[in-house]
């Protein structure tokens, strides 16, 4: 899922330790014997990665949440 067009593509350097931490937290969330629920690990990943967003990126996230773009548009079909 992409919320920005490919013409707006920018790169951001992420430290390898933060990237490793984020991936480890994803794996911990999926593990059956994790001491916390999935939401805990998801919040850790959000906290790690949110710091890398530019000002424009944060605005994009605010718009995404405000407009509830995560909800798929319903497909309405009229049958005759």
pLDDT tens digit sequence for 17-73:
999 999 999 999 999 999 999 999 999 999 999 999 999 999 999 999 999 999 998
Decide if 3 contacts 64 (C-beta within 8 A): yes
51 within domain boundaries: yes
How crowded is residue 41: how many other Cβ atoms within 10 Å of its Cβ? 20
Q: pTM for the complete prediction?
A: 0.75
Domain membership of residue 47 as a residue range? 14-66
From the list 72, 79, 25, 18, the residue with the least C-alpha distance to 50 is: 18
Decide if 28 contacts 54 (C-beta within 8 A): no
**Total structural domains within the chain:** 1
DSSP state at residue 80:
-
75 within domain boundaries: no
27 within domain boundaries: yes
76 within domain boundaries: no
78 within domain boundaries: no
- The yes-or-no verdict on residue 6 having pLDDT over 60 is no
77 within domain boundaries: no
62 within domain boundaries: yes
């Amino acid at each position: 899922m992409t919320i920005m067009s490919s013409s707006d593509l920018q790169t951001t350097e992420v430290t390898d330790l933060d990237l490793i931490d984020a991936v480890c937290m994803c794996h911990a969330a999926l593990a059956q014997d994790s001491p916390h629920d999935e939401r805990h690990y998801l919040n850790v990943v959000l906290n790690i990665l949110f710091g890398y967003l530019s000002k424009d990126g944060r605005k994009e996230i605010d718009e995404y949440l405000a407009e509830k773009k995560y909800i798929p548009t319903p497909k309405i079909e009229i049958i005759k």
